[in-house]
Amino acid sequence: MTNDIIVVKGLVKNYKNVKAVKDITFSVKEGELFAFLGENGAGKSTTINVLCQVLNKTSGKVIIDGFDIDKDSLEVKKRIGIVFQGTVLDNILTVKENLISRCAYYGMNHKMAMNRVNELVKPLSLEKLLKRKYQTLSGGERRRVDIARALINKPRILFLDEPTTGLDPKTRKIVWDIISNLRKEINLTVFLTTHYMEECNEADNVIILDSGNIVAEGTPNNLKNLYSSNKLLWYTNDSIDNQGYTF
């Protein structure tokens, strides 16, 4: 049986008088694609930032890969990677320089850093980008580099905070093909936040957030069966009262 790699119990996050996350509980299985779905302001990014220790929680318990974020912060950071909504890379450095500098954060010397960057080149199709400055890249190219940066430390869990917002459909597909391949190759657990329903189609489990509350949870198919329906309205010219027939 697959183990829970993320366990969240009674998570609360308040900003002064604003309750952004309201006592939510859920778990994520190792190796699955887990999706948080909700409109802007639903609490998705707040939750993911608490799990990644960017924000401190108000209360509750969070276990990442067996480690409590309150007691084993450094161990948790070794096991996660995150792709933020905005970039954290340096515009005036080349892609290669950016990635090598990130390796230093994890104690890698230059040789180790070069080896790690080279390992990421092929799966993320970075061959033609390494010598280019980050600021010259297109949105899709930047996203590929952002994912490479998040994978530098060989994380067991990859957090994706609305990773394809602002990208065109073709580029979004490329990004998702890369993520899908990574899951298959290294059994990567992916935690996604999005407001695109179609991005949840391949998820193993989906949670829908609204105003900091979990309002629905299940597989995509189960949620569709529970909360959606198909109707065809047929109007005929012969109908005296233009009656609609529902099938």
Residue 24 placed within a domain: no
Domain that holds residue 149: 29-45+89-246
Residue 7 placed within a domain: no
Residue 238 placed within a domain: yes
The closest of 145, 147, 143, 116 to 130, measured between CA atoms, is 145
CB atoms within 10 A of CB 238: 5
Q: What is the mean pLDDT of residues 206-226?
A: 90
Stated pTM of the model: 0.85
> Residue 128 pLDDT > 80, yes or no?
yes
pLDDT, mean over the chain: 88
Q: What is the mean pLDDT of residues 5-19?
A: 94
| Residues linked to residue 194 through DSSP beta bridges, in sequence order | 37
Q: What is the mean pLDDT of residues 170-195?
A: 86
Residue 15 placed within a domain: no
Residue 156 placed within a domain: yes
The pLDDT tens digits for 135-176 are: 999 988 998 999 999 999 999 999 998 888 777 888 888 888
CB atoms within 10 A of CB 245: 10
pLDDT tier for residue 229 given thresholds of 50, 70 and 90? low
Q: What domain count does the chain have?
A: 1
Residue 4 placed within a domain: no
CATH number, domain containing residue 111: 3.40.50.300
Helix, strand, or coil (residue 162): coil
Q: Please report the pLDDT score of residue 247 as a whole number.
A: 46
